[in-house]
Amino acid sequence: MSDKLWIFDTTLRDGEQVPGCQLNTQEKIIVAKALEELGVDIIEAGFPISSPGDFNSVQEISKAVSNPIICALSRAVEKDIEVAAAALKFAKKGRIHTGIGVSPYHIQYKLRSTPDEIIRRGVAAVKFARNFVDDVEFYAEDAGRSEPDFLCKIIEEVIKAGATVVNIPDTTGYCLPEQYGAIIASLKNNVPNIDKAIIATHCHNDLGMATANTVAGVQHGARQVEVTINGIGERAGNTSMEEVVMAIKCHSSIPVHTDIVTQKIYQTSRLVSKLMNMPVQPNKAIVGRNAFAHSSGIHQDGVLKHRENYEIIDPKEVGVEESSIVLTARSGRAALKHHLDALGVELEGEELREVYEAFLVLADSKRDIGRKDLLELVGKYMDESNFIELGEVSYSSNGEIKAEVSLTIGSESHKASSSGVGPVDAVLKAIEKIVKPQVDLEEFLIQAITHGSDDVAKVHMRLIKSEKPYYGFASNQDIVLASAQAFVDALNKIPVKEYATA
């Protein structure tokens, strides 16, 4: 039977150190409950000594969740440890995470100390923490750049002092996978009492190696991985939880298992992204919007014939309903036919060839091919369809923000007005009054294309309808108009049968 790999999530501590991504206590509780449902084993809930808000968050999270161990960070300082213990008062299972820098850089330049003094302080911190909890984790900060013999010595001593977990951080993201794996192997082979503690990895992504280093650490004997949702964290981020979990799931040669409910990965990713106002990059492994999107004709044909031709993970395993076959100038006939079949238009042979040739000409000049384009290609008249066309958009603010929009759906004209917390919200609500698709706006991203107060804004939206994603894009100098255009663009990609009009 494979070993248990403990998932230590530090989204709410290390992850929250990203500038502009701070959460309040209530938001942290929402994330903590989602992490509990996801199946993480340890939640590092905060650094209690750092602020009253962090203390309160650790305390309230301790009350709100039952299954995971709740961990509080501290320096190797008695006051830090006392405050961490107080914050964990209500935890069903509490852990104090204390430690100190161990690299020559940290010892000489940060702490202005000596190796012997660092060992003394580390041991004293662990012993003091054991007065409050039975579960004490020691972090050897900047272990990735430490002297191997010194690292082995301090780890041996803190285990003697009562550390149950020893954390070996690659704090600066410096290591290559073989180097980090060798550090873990050295501890396994040279620390006499290493069997009395769990070795933990904590890798940063400064060189893009965090996941690779973490997996290398597991392969050499680490049995706890410290990770964040979406890989968020200081500087270039931390190890991505979803990447490590799925890498291990894909490779049976790694003799460990986790208790992560992988089907909840995607929804947890989106929750964290939304609450922290931190978009997930489109090409992010596992949870990026393009992670299961295919635009190359060769890939599309292969996926449509047999998913595993080009996908090592079934999207449903991580909570994504299905792969996306995106129509571009690189798409093949198989992809075009796939989309036409979804519209109820069945073409074969010469008819399909002629439409495909016309499609390629259009795709060369247009970035995104939608339902309107396909219907035009097959000779459908727009007034025979439910295609939505955006007309006038206006909004005003006289104490209350109101918007009015006009739409043409097929051959019928519609108007609606609505109020909202802002002009974009009001405009989208007015559109929803006319078109009632019951969609969830899951992702809404605005990017500046040019520079200055007259920037051209590019808007990207992701709507969910019947658990399937639909994307909308638009660009305009008017952000409100661009948002309305992107929303309508996404609505037009939803099959007609999926929504009703007023």
Residue positions forming the annotated binding site: 14, 202, 204, 238
DSSP alpha helices (H): ranges in 220-278? Answer: 241-250, 265-275
Q: Estimate to the nearest angstrom the gap between the alpha carbon of 174 and the chain centroid.
A: 23
Residues annotated as binding site for Mn(2+)? Answer: 14, 202, 204, 238
* Residue count of the chain: 502
Q: Which residues pair with 240 in a beta bridge?
A: 228
Q: Is 334 helix (H, G, I), strand (E, B) or coil?
A: helix
Burial of 384 (0-12, 13-18, 19+ CB in 10 A): exposed
Q: CA-to-CA distance for 84 and 72, rounded, in angstroms?
A: 6
> Please, which residues have CB within 8 angstroms of residue 308's CB and are 6 or more apart in sequence?
none
How far is Cα 276 from Cα 302, in angstroms, rounded to an integer?
37
Are the beta carbons of 68 and 35 closer than 8 angstroms?
yes
Please report the DSSP string for 131-191 in residue order. TT-S-EEEEEETGGGS-HHHHHHHHHHHHHHT-SEEEEEETTS---HHHHHHHHHHHHHH-
- Assess contact for 347 and 334: CB atoms under 8 A: no
Spatial distance between the Cα atoms of 144 and 288, rounded to a whole number of angstroms: 29
At 167, the amino acid letter reads N
Angstrom distances, CA of residue 244 to CA of 7, 140, 173: 10, 22, 16
Q: Is the dihedral of CA 21, 39, 87, 204 positive or negative?
A: negative
Q: Which are the contacts of 38, defined by CB distance < 8 A and separation ≥ 6? A: 260, 261, 264, 265, 268
